[in-house]
Amino acid sequence: MTAYALTDSWTMTRRELARWGRQPVQLAVNLVFPVMLLLMFGYLVGGGRGVSGAYRDYLVPGMLALTMAFGLEGTMIAVTRDLDKGVIDRFRSMPMANGAVLVGRSAADMLQSVLTLAVLIGVGAALGWRAHGGPAAFLGAVGLLLLLRFAMLWIGIHLALVAGKPEMVQAVQILVWPIGFLSNALATPDSMPGWLGTVVEWNPMSHTATAVRHLFGVPGAESGHVAPAVLWPLALLAVFFPLAVRRFGRLSR
Amino acid sequence: MADAAITVEGAEKRYGDKKALDGLDLRVARGTVHGVLGPNGAGKTTLVRVLSTLLRPDGGRIEVAGHDVVREAYAVRLRIGLLGQHAALDEELGGRQNLELFGRLHHLGAKRARARAGELLERFGLSDTGRKAVRQYSGGMRRRLDLAASLITEPEVLFLDEPTTGLDPRGRAEVWDSVRSLVGGGTTVLLTTQYLEEADQLADRISVVDAGRVIAEGTADELKAETGGDRIDVVLRDAGQLGAAVALLPLTGVTADVDRRLLSAPVTDRMEALSGVVRALQEAGIEAEDVALRRPTLDEVFLHLTGDDRSVKETA
């Protein structure tokens, strides 16, 4: 049955792509929403407390990291929806590689994240934002962002399997937003009360945002965050990947 | 027992201290339709989930199509189809897309998956659904597509878990027709239902399940016979005379239904009971609209077996 692992994973990925084809509006909304956030924080709310230099340079990488972190919700919604509809039961009762359900989910979500990053970076560029670090650093930054998304993806799968029902997603959404904003995505920790600043510096998302700023050559971005931006998501994956896989296996309990 | 498509011996499944399956035994012969009948919470769905490898049993020997559901789950999955209680489809995709997806996951290959999807859409009268998303299907259409999806590989054993629950009479008739057309193709069908009529209509043999175990098994006729054979029904013109009629008729164990002006009682000798009732009514001048002998319904059998006679109103 492992002989089919690749074929089945590809079939499951194609299923998600077919859903995009059925719901282009939904896909467009998913892609446009982060752009709206970028415009809102860049122009309406404005500010950028504690940021020296151009806020836009600071904000675009922060927004990229924030969007990757919020991807957790999308993953969770998709997995709970499948559980709720019983279609996962059909997959599990078929002679297919069982892991393909999760692999297909990850592949499709990662593809969507690549699209999202492309759109956001494109809009950022249209607003006059530029990456200054060179192509290798640019790719490195994108890699770090996708690594963060990948970690969030498996946290999302695990939470969805724990929650089981779509109604539970809301509870997680309420938590995801403050955790997302409790980072240096939009403002520097120096501008916050002491204890809050410490929390923000510990937030794995902050490391990714800072490392990406550094690689994009944003003036004043600290170096030395690339290693934690690699290690944090890997650590999260080391915890949540096995948990999610185990939880998936436990559907038969 | 080479001719058994399903063998269950002493199946156990616990959730906390609740026993969903409590030593359940079942044997289904190849090529037959077997009904599993029981109230909500009797363990029907748990049984289907165990048989279809979705749920791991805590104990017992359970074989489907000659393979153990735990140790040889993959071999079982190659040979079964499952129609669960909830439509197991991708609601956003169309009918054809769904069937092709499941065909590919059955490793038919792209070409055969496409051909098979076409055949099944044709067979279940869904060819004209075009690109419509399953979300927009009627209940009956969705159920038929779901059934088509469980038949992609012409499974040896097909599980139908309450296939018509939530459907209107038309949707129910559609599903029944589809199930009937399957039988004869050699497929073994295990069907769970709360509807006695459904088991009566579709099943060769019936297992009555309550609290995780089988409390009776047989053909519909055998089960009916077990409840005490024939009954006589008397419908009076005037509900006010029900009491008088009960006192007068040469019958025991009479039940009365005031709304339907109906008296019902078990009989041992059919002809003697019939002539006795007609004569007694005539002599007393009580007008009857109808007097009829009949077999007990499965409803009566079911209530008798589960010891739940609350819905039968006894009158003195």
Question: What's the pLDDT tens digit per position in B262-310?
Answer: 998 888 888 888 899 999 999 988 888 999 888 777 777 777 777 654 4
* Longest pairwise C-alpha distance within chain A: 58
Say if B46 is an interface residue toward chain A (CB within 8 Å): no
Chain A residues with CB under 8 Å of B78 CB are: 95
Give me the pLDDT at residue A133, please.
85
Interface of B with A in 135-194 (CB under 8 A): 149-150
Relative to beta strand B59-64, strand B67-68 is antiparallel
Structure tokens at A71: 């991807």
The average pLDDT across A148-153 equals 96
Mean pLDDT, residues A3-20 taken together = 92
Whether the predicted pLDDT of B5 surpasses 80 = yes
| Residue in B with minimal Cα distance to A2 | B74
> Does B228 score more than 70 pLDDT?
no
Distance from A61 to chain B by nearest Cα, in Å? 34
Report d(CA B282, CA B220) in Å as an integer: 36
Region A196-218 average pLDDT: 88
Query: Which chain B residues are closer than 8 Å to A105 by Cβ?
Result: none
Beta strands in B258-308 (DSSP E): 262-266, 288-294
Q: Which of A4, A93, A252 sits opposite B82 (nearest CB)?
A: A93
Local confidence band at B172 (pLDDT 50, 70, 90 cut-offs): confident
Which amino acid appears at position B314 of this protein? E
Whether A222 contacts A214, CB under 8 Å:
yes
Long-range contacts of B238-243 (CB under 8 A, 24+ apart): B238/B286, B238/B287, B241/B286, B242/B315, B243/B315
Distance in Å from the first CA to the final CA of chain B: 51
Q: At CA B19, angle to CA B14 and CA B23, rounded to 5?
A: 100
Q: Which of A56-70, A165-179, B28-42 has the lowest mean pLDDT?
A: A165-179
Q: In whole angstroms, what is the distance from residue B178 CA to residue B123 CA?
A: 9
User: Contact, B274 vs B284, CB < 8 A?
Assistant: no
Two tokens at A4?
């089919």
Region B40-57 average pLDDT? 93
Using the beta-carbon criterion (under 8 Å), do B107 and A7 form an inter-chain contact? yes
CA distance A161 to A164: 5
Residues on chain A touching B52 (C-beta within 8 angstroms): 93
Q: What is the pLDDT of residue B167?
A: 82
Which residue from B264, B259, B252 is spatially nearest to B290, judged by alpha carbons? B264
Residues B90, B98: contact at Cβ < 8 Å?
yes
What is the average pLDDT across B95-116? 95
Looking at residue B314, its pLDDT comes to 39
Most confident of A128-137, B56-65, B126-135: B56-65
Q: How many CB atoms lie within 10 A of CB B133?
A: 18
Interval A58-104: pLDDT, tens: 889 999 999 999 999 899 999 998 888 889 999 999 999 888 999 99
Check B105 against A93: CB less than 8 A apart.
no
Q: Please report residues of B whose CB lies closer than 8 A to that of A6.
A: none
Q: Is some CB atom of chain A closer than 8 A to the CB atom of B77?
A: yes
A90 and B53 within 8 Å at the Cβ level: the answer is no
- Calculate mean pLDDT across residues B181-188: 81
Tell me the mean pLDDT in the region B61-84.
95
At residue B231, does pLDDT exceed 90?
no
Beta bridge partners of A24: none
pLDDT at position B316, please? 33
Confidence (pLDDT) at A104: 94
Average pLDDT on B36-48 reads 91
Report pTM.
0.82
- Give chain B's mean pLDDT: 88
Looking at residue B251, its pLDDT comes to 83
- In sign, the C-alpha dihedral spanning B110, B111, B114, B119 is negative
Whether B54 sits inside 8 A of A1 (CB atoms) is no
Percentage of residues of chain B with pLDDT beyond 90: 49
B97 vs A18, A91, A95: nearest CB: A18
**Sign of torsion, CA A180 A185 A187 A189?**
positive
For residue B309, the model assigns a pLDDT of 47
Interface of A with B (CB under 8 A): 1, 4, 7-8, 11-12, 15, 18-19, 22-23, 85-87, 89-96, 100, 251-253
Residue of B nearest to A90 (CA): B88
Interatomic CA distance for residues B121 and B141, integer angstroms? 11
> Of the candidates A213, A201, A203, which has an alpha carbon nearest to the alpha carbon of residue A145?
A213
The band of A112, judged by pLDDT with boundaries at 50, 70 and 90, is very high
Q: How confident is the model at residue B2 (pLDDT cuts 50, 70, 90)?
A: low
Q: Strands across the sheet with B59-64, in order?
A: B18-29, B4-15, B59-64, B67-68
CA distance A157 to A77: 9
Best B85, B105, B153 member to test A by mutation, with max A CBs in 10 Å, is B105
By mean pLDDT, which of A48-62, B83-97, B211-225 is the weakest? A48-62
Chain B interface test: which of A9, A20, A90 (most B C-beta within 10 Å)? A90
